[in-house]
Structure 1
Amino acid sequence: MPFLRGSLGFERFAVTGFEANQFGEEHIEILSKFAAGQFETDASDNVQVGFLGGDHLFDQDFDLDKNLINNALHCSVRIDTNVIPSAIRAAWLQVELSGRLKDSETGFLSKAEKKEAKEAVEQKCEVEAASGRYRKMQTVPFLWDIDHSQLYFGGSQGNASGHCLGLLERAFEVEFSHIGAGAIAHDWAVEAECFGELDDLVPADFVSGGTQSPHVWTNEFSQAPDFLGNEFLMWLWWTTETKTDTIAMPDESDAVVMFAKTLALDCPKGETGKEVISAESPVQLPEAMEAIRSGKLPRKAGMTIISDGRQFDLVLQAESFGIGGAKIHLEEGEEFEDEDRIDAIRLLSDTTDQLFYAFLQRRVSDDWSQDLNEMNRWLGVSQVIAKVA
């Protein structure tokens, strides 16, 4: 099963409306009722979605002993599409029109004849689709952690997540909301009783030491301050480079953080483009510093995190807080059961959240102006500007 083997990649969603405090046989029956291939959907786009037991593409067997691990439900969703490719559909139409044109006595086709050609193609599409020749199957794993009311979705936001969450909402009568940087910050601020301070925040300009307009990649339909994810990576970079790689977290634990392997940066104004740096320690390279001196911000960063004696290698996406390519390191000879794997996933999520909380505490406090000034000096922008002038 994907969450139990190999590297990890997931986005998180908050679950609301689920009243049970543990999974039982009634939930296994729901999975079976909505199993892949067991029912027809009324989707107009020829998409069918159903649950899988998680072992393989045709696994329709569900069982508490198999699918419930450490009070977390582990399954997959299969998305079947049966759509004739547009290029083939267009080619069939041209063939149909050409054939009718040859038989035309006038040398051209009337509006009615063109309509008949299109209807003939539609019939052909229905026949070909029924044959299953163009059916494609995609599987996406998920882990529903009932203790934390969270769903770990083994993919990124998009059509796949929409189909998966739609199925879960219909089957279990629950609702999901994405857990991105802005949502995490919002929940933290409510708990810390400083929502007003968070609500007043605007994107920081690390080059000038002031503020700037919303980032070009901001979702215009969302009020969530996802820009804090970019600032978090910037702050973490500065902290580990100039102060310490051991970050004290609000839960009174600490984590060691090291940037590694990959770093993706982008211009928040959309002026100077994107840059991706791959190296053992990308933040050490001069082009990385030049990028942030020019105003770029980190949007994705590879890092190694050591928390509670456990080491993780991962890539963190700033705005969505999605995790990719995560590897859980084991000690030599360590026995690692499925329950331990689930605990490690929880530890990884909790640690990234706690690191973010540590940043948020600084961000809403009076200490932020000091941090921003120190980052400005670290970048050396004022000196560079003075030389140019």
Structure 2
Amino acid sequence: MGLKKGAFSFSRFGVSTPLTGNFADLFDEKIKSFAFRDFFPENEEKSLGWTGLQEILDSSFAYAAHTLGDYRVFSLRIDRKTTPSALLRLRFLEAERSMLAERETKKLYKEEREALRESIRQDLMKQAHPVPSMLDVCWSLTKGMIYFSSHAEKILQDFQDFFRETFEMDLALHVPWLDALGQNKEETEEFLSRQPGREFLTWLWFKSEERDGRIALEGQEEIGLAFVRRLILESGEGDYAESVVCQGQHALLLEGKEALRQGKKIREARLSLEIDSMEWEFTFKADLFQFQSMKLPAPTEESEENSALEEEGRLLERIFLLEKAIETMDRLFAFFMGLRLSASWPAEVARMERWMNR
């Protein structure tokens, strides 16, 4: 499941570095230089490298297999070794007991205990088999945007670091409200403290019920938006956070609205989006504007052929549909931001409160 087929979960990164005239040759050279090598460095917990998207064993990128029109599509392979904490603790206790008996003492110094634990961890790492994971990457050169198939903070950081090492470019996780705000630091901090992603998602629920889910966007026919099956609301932060999970349409209406009345905001929701008679379904994570398990509309035409040209065509169609949903969500957020920062916002809040109390 991923960019090629099935549901797709992803985060977005912006690439701000301008591309040079010889970028195509430079990209080809760099990605081959940092391609995955079937060699695991001793005493390392992980090994990273780029591979082909269409063929995961392809690390040679023959015939520019990473190029798809204006896009660069490839995968990041991360092989990671892990040591079960329970096994590490057991082996440490065994080694500690043996060392204490050998020395005829009752206690080891702190430094000795730490050195012993690390030595055992290293031995277990040498015995462990690396577990591979494949993360899809789609880089739109025109938009300066990358779609990367993970939400995990650790993996996102690995991707940013390895991308910088490979291409000598910095990536920034893309959240649209940072682009929409001005340069006033105090106003920015005050707005961010209100958790704009959650405000936006809460407002979206209101809009989805205001006109039977029909929302008019400038320059586009009306779109359809519905909240389906699952909703997570939360208030507070850290250890003081309180969450409510609502599942099923009846629970969304009753428990969800009650949570809103108690001051909670929507952190995550399953949405159905309709554009031009096509339908997408995905879980929207408000805090970082991320998309999870996005189901795309069925392809316009099914073909039984599996030629390279057919595969490229299907992948391009999926990317087009992916970006169609993303752009619509971005436009919805721009609509929200325009309203949120205008003099009309208090009246909108009053309407939302009446809706909550219905």
Tell me whether the two structures share a fold, i.e. TM-score over 0.5.
Answer: yes
- Residue type at the aligned position of 1:129: M
What's the % identity of the aligned pairs? 20
Superposition map of 1:10-89 within 5 A: 10-20=10-20, 24-37=24-37, 46-55=45-54, 58-63=57-62, 66-89=65-88
Partner of 2:180: 188
Partner of 1:221: none
Partner of 1:298: 266
Partner of 2:349: 372
Contact map agreement 2:100 2:107 (CA 8 A) in 1: no
Higher alpha-carbon deviation: 246-255 or 170-179 = 246-255
- Residue type at the aligned position of 2:266: P
Would the alpha carbon gap of residues 227 and 251 (structure 1) be closer, same or farther in structure 2, given more than 3 Å must change?
farther
Distance 1:146 1:276 in 2: 39
Deviations 1:63-116 (A, max 9, x none): 455322231111111222234444333322322232334444xx415758994x
Contact map agreement 1:23 1:73 (CA 8 A) in 2: no
Superposition map of 1:347-362 within 5 A: 347-362=324-339
- Residue type at the aligned position of 2:264: K
- Residue type at the aligned position of 2:187: D
> TM-score, normalising length from structure 2?
0.84
Would the alpha carbon gap of residues 161 and 70 (structure 1) be closer, same or farther in structure 2, given more than 3 Å must change?
same
Give how far 1:226 is off: 7.1
Structure 1 spans left out of the alignment, 5+ residues: 204-223, 382-389
Give how far 1:293 is off: 1.3
Distance 1:22 1:2 in 2: 30
- Residue type at the aligned position of 1:324: Q
Contact map agreement 2:75 2:134 (CA 8 A) in 1: yes
Would the alpha carbon gap of residues 197 and 304 (structure 1) be closer, same or farther in structure 2, given more than 3 Å must change?
farther
Give how far 1:55 is off: 4.4
Would the alpha carbon gap of residues 95 and 372 (structure 1) be closer, same or farther in structure 2, given more than 3 Å must change?
same
- Residue type at the aligned position of 2:45: N
Partner of 1:108: 105
Would the alpha carbon gap of residues 301 and 120 (structure 1) be closer, same or farther in structure 2, given more than 3 Å must change?
closer
**Equivalent residue in structure 1 for 2:137, among 137, 142, 145:** 142
Distance 1:56 1:95 in 2: 45
- Residue type at the aligned position of 2:291: I
Distance 2:357 2:99 in 1: 72
Give how far 1:153 is off: 1.2
Partner of 1:219: none
User: Is 1:276 the equivalent of 2:245?
Assistant: yes
Contact map agreement 2:283 2:291 (CA 8 A) in 1: yes
Distance 2:147 2:213 in 1: 28
Structure 1 vs Structure 2 CA RMSD:
3.3
SS at match of 2:131: strand
SS at match of 1:347: helix
SS at match of 1:337: helix
Give how far 1:333 is off: 4.5
Would the alpha carbon gap of residues 114 and 268 (structure 1) be closer, same or farther in structure 2, given more than 3 Å must change?
closer
**Equivalent residue in structure 2 for 1:168, among 156, 163, 169:** 163
Would the alpha carbon gap of residues 10 and 226 (structure 1) be closer, same or farther in structure 2, given more than 3 Å must change?
farther
Partner of 1:387: none
Partner of 2:290: 322
Structure 2 spans left out of the alignment, 5+ residues: 304-312
Contact map agreement 1:93 1:118 (CA 8 A) in 2: no
